[in-house]
Structure 1
Amino acid sequence: MHFHQLLPIFAAAAQALPQSTSVRCREVQIPITVSTPRFIVTADIHDDWDAAALTLNLTRRDVTTSADPLPIEANMSEPVKSTYTVGATLCGNGGPTLVLTHGIIESKLYWNPKFLGSEKYNFVDAALAQGYSVLSYDRIGVGSSPKVNSLTDAQFQVEVAVLEGLVNYAKTKAHATQVALIGHSYGSYISSGAASHVPVDGLVLTGFSGTFDYFAPFVAGAGLRVAKTQNPFRWGHLDSGYLTTSDLYAETYVYYAEPHFEHTVAEYTFNVASEPFAVGELPSVLATTVNYKDIKAPVLVLQGQFDVSACGGNCVGVVNGTKELFTGAKVLEYVDNLPAGHNLNFHKIAPQAFQKIFTFLKAQGLKP
């Protein structure tokens, strides 16, 4: 039996588990209007041959040169106004609030997994136990958020603007007295972009080193496939510009580090929690300069040592480069040696990692 055929079994089991946060959390639909220029993405993805060609272009050694092969035109469009109804989970009653942004090939289940034994991997539960309120959301194109055009809507600068709108929602509608942004992977870049534009009280980044020097192993190792043909049961409704990993073991390579995780957890994330990403997301983030120096909030960079995409498999000696990025931050702390791969929340070290985040936030004055 193939893993994707096990999906109904995994999903049914997840639904049957006790929802520990259900009495304190509610699902919300948040309309966010943005007006931002768009890159003209020229990628033309119809099948896995096209996905393979895109992989080559994104992993060439000259991808960052002036003659780079990124599939975008030099000029951007005029600002485009769009409204997206973002699917989110809001927990708590205001006060110090954590806004969580997940990464690529993920959904908001990254923060709030539901499977037997998932308690120690559940960041939302851990944050609620500390007294924080939490707003987690599915990025546009993912999960409970709208399925948008993979080229024109799902772009980095659009997602930054969406997060800025969610920060405003937290402050004006959800009674947040302080807001800290917690990002993972692609969500760390989105969180950094938002924190460079709007004032927040804290910024925590995981799956992040501030450099794309080690991006190629992630793209190549994922074995990108067109999601709608890779798994029609789950993703047949998506356009062909949504991509996913080739199989469980490719996803394990890019997101996990042996022996620091449980295989059953990787199987859960692959079969239930993972979601495709839109092809417009990668070239748009590679073509954007985040003004890290404009971030004034205290910053914590928290890294699994064996992160492939952030550090090429060993973050020691790499993450210290963030000191040159966050020159305007009130405080910068970093940890580069946690025994984990890219998906920090799903490794055995997760409970200790969560505590490091809460200790940092409280030291910066974000005390429930």
Structure 2
Amino acid sequence: MDFMRSVWRGTPAATNGTLTVSDTFTIKGTYCTPKDTTTEPKALQVLVHGITYNKTMWAGMGFSPADYSWHTAATSRGYATLALDRLGHGANPQRPDPLSVVQPQVQIDIMHEIFAGARDAASPLNSVLGRAYDKVAFVGHSYGAFLGAALGAQYPADADALVLAGYSSYFDFSDMIEASWASAADHDPARFGADLAKGYVVMTDETQRTETFYVGGYDAAIPPVDFAYEDTLTVGEIGALAAILGPAVGYTGPVLAVTSVEDAFFCETPKEKCEEHLIATADAFPDAESYDYFAPENTGHDLTLHYTAGETFEKVHEWLDSKL
């Protein structure tokens, strides 16, 4: 835990060397298509969650789909969605080494394969999707948004658009540093398994978690469910994060940053100050054809699980309609 906190403080111990990871991984996903089957979907949205979450966040974690489900909002606008469980999380059957394997670069390369497969009618993925997609957009939240920006930098042809939620070039990880963390195996062995590697960790204080991710207008019934079903993060995901940060030079598609004014990590109040951070974030995408932002108010970091979620869904899909 001290190692992760040192990374969030910006003072990690120096590391050297590289490791080649070569393996076959099973990645679980939730795939949704529009009800109207008479027309082709406008595009496929690949949805990537942040730390301590999994693909269920995009479905509203079991709460009203009309209010909190990205899938419902997207398919009603004519888009298909594919929400992924990142390697080591969610329903994926493998829990690789949490320090040397479950790192951001491995996650990025897995996503690159998925984007390529979604476009290729002959790929095994399209035996599941049922078709190839000419247009594929990346949608990521928080840590998932960092991965999306890095995907744009490393594989600029993969995504036709980047939607980066809970994200900016401004960071304040004080809440992560101060939070109570523990090995998932020690905290809840019945759920995570007593033999899960110690480098898979969870937040252990429900009040801290709620205060970190929720602000202002939200259903009080959601945070207890969020805490009860929280996923893990790995020490490798945090420890190697700095290696993928930097401007997405070469990415020429459109970019949308969607970050709430009260986001504990990536913005500041008042709204004018938050907007300064979001405007400055454009510098991270110097070659993008366009850069836009939206900053919902009275909303915390988990912006799809607040009362403003519907407004956020509407703004994002209006933007995607205009760009794709």
User: Is TM more than 0.5 here?
Assistant: yes
What residue is the counterpart of 1:120 in the other structure?
Answer: 67
SS of the residue corresponding to residue 17 of structure 2 reads strand
For 2:276, the aligned partner's letter is: G
Q: What is the CA distance between 1:95 and its match in structure 2?
A: 4.9
Q: What is the CA distance between 1:194 and its match in structure 2?
A: 1.3
Identify if the C-alpha distance between structure 1 residues 166 and 222 changes in structure 2 by more than 3 Å, giving closer, same or farther: farther
- Coordinate RMSD, CA, aligned: 1.9
Q: Distance in 1 between matches of 2:69 and 2:246?
A: 29
Q: What is the CA distance between 1:311 and its match in structure 2?
A: 2.7
CA deviations on 1:85-143 (whole Å, 9 max, x unpaired) are 11111222765100000000000011013535343010011111111111111000001
What residue is the counterpart of 1:235 in the other structure?
Answer: 192
What residue is the counterpart of 1:80 in the other structure?
Answer: 21
* TM alignment of 1:1-368, pairs within 5 A: 51=1, 53-60=2-9, 63=10, 68-70=11-13, 73-77=15-19, 79-92=20-33, 95-145=42-92, 146-172=94-120, 173=126, 174=129, 175-196=132-153, 197-199=155-157, 200-211=159-170, 213-215=171-173, 217-236=174-193, 237-257=195-215, 259-272=216-229, 274-311=230-267, 315-364=274-323, 366=324
CA deviations on 1:192-220 (whole Å, 9 max, x unpaired) are 11122141211100110124x312x1322
Q: How high is the TM-score relative to the length of structure 2?
A: 0.87
Contact 2:303–2:309 (CA<8 Å) still a contact in 1? yes
Identify if the C-alpha distance between structure 1 residues 302 and 84 changes in structure 2 by more than 3 Å, giving closer, same or farther: same
Q: Distance in 2 between matches of 1:56 and 1:136?
A: 29
Identify if the C-alpha distance between structure 1 residues 176 and 222 changes in structure 2 by more than 3 Å, giving closer, same or farther: farther
Structure in which a larger fraction of residues adopt strand: 1
SS of the residue corresponding to residue 304 of structure 1 reads coil
Q: Distance in 1 between matches of 2:62 and 2:282?
A: 38
Identify if the C-alpha distance between structure 1 residues 181 and 114 changes in structure 2 by more than 3 Å, giving closer, same or farther: same
Q: What is the CA distance between 1:348 and its match in structure 2?
A: 0.6
Q: Distance in 2 between matches of 1:155 and 1:55?
A: 13
Q: Distance in 2 between matches of 1:338 and 1:244?
A: 28
Q: Distance in 2 between matches of 1:282 and 1:313?
A: 26
Q: Distance in 2 between matches of 1:89 and 1:119?
A: 17
Percent identical among aligned pairs is 26
Identify if the C-alpha distance between structure 1 residues 116 and 207 changes in structure 2 by more than 3 Å, giving closer, same or farther: closer
Contact 2:180–2:203 (CA<8 Å) still a contact in 1? yes
CA deviations on 1:118-175 (whole Å, 9 max, x unpaired) are 4301001111111111111100000112211101111011111111111112112232
Give ranges in structure 1 of 5+ residues lacking alignment. 1-50
For 1:54, the aligned partner's letter is: F
Number of matched pairs? 302
Identify if the C-alpha distance between structure 1 residues 225 and 353 changes in structure 2 by more than 3 Å, giving closer, same or farther: same
SS of the residue corresponding to residue 28 of structure 2 reads strand
Contact 1:243–1:277 (CA<8 Å) still a contact in 2? yes
